[in-house]
Amino acid sequence: MSKLEPYLIEFPKIGNSVQGYISLSEKENLPIDVKRVYWTYYTPEDIKRGHHAHYELEQILFAVAGSVRIIIETIEGKVFEFNLDKPYLGVFIPRMCWRTMQYTHNAVQICLANSEYDESDYIRDYEEFKKLQTSWVGSK
Ligand code: TYD
């Protein structure tokens, strides 16, 4: 698998249906060195968020409640779709991926990120992303 492809991560679960569950990850089991965490909630169901890529940022997204459907287009031109519908699932998003996310009304998405917020790391223009993709694919 290319380092530029997203993938699902299934985190361990402790517990049972009587007592409930804990999911966790030790730092060394995460694919990124976490520098920032943020969370997204109360997103109306007809709204799609995202619509951007990052030059360098890598992230892990979880839906700790509700579900989040994520469509990811990589710089290599591949498209992936994930439905985060269980609290123990996460998706790793590498750099240079265009993403859109849609949420159920009760969804709470947590994002772990490997750097501080930096607007200059965003690619917010899809045409710009497609140009970068064309030159990336052409250079391989
Ligand atoms: P954005 O990353 O575009 O959110 P989404 O991908 O969910 O649509 O961020 C939305 C706004 O919030 C944008 O104005 C930047 C701001 N923001 C910060 O100031 N700091 C942060 O850490 C994040 C994630 C966003």
Share of the chain above pLDDT 90, in %: 94
Q: Cα dist. 138→32, 122, 128, 134, 135 in Å?
A: 29, 22, 15, 6, 5
pTM: 0.96
- What residue's CA is closest to ligand 1, atom 25? 117
Supply the residue whose CA is at minimum distance from atom 15 of ligand 1: 119
pLDDT of residue 137: 86
Predicted confidence (pLDDT) per residue in 53-92, tens digit: 999 999 999 999 999 999 999 999 999 999 999 999 999 9
Per-residue pLDDT at 120 exceeds 90: yes
Q: Among the atoms of ligand 1, which is closest to the Cα of residue 49?
A: 8
Q: What is the Cα Rg of the chain in Å?
A: 16
| Residues known to be catalytic | 52
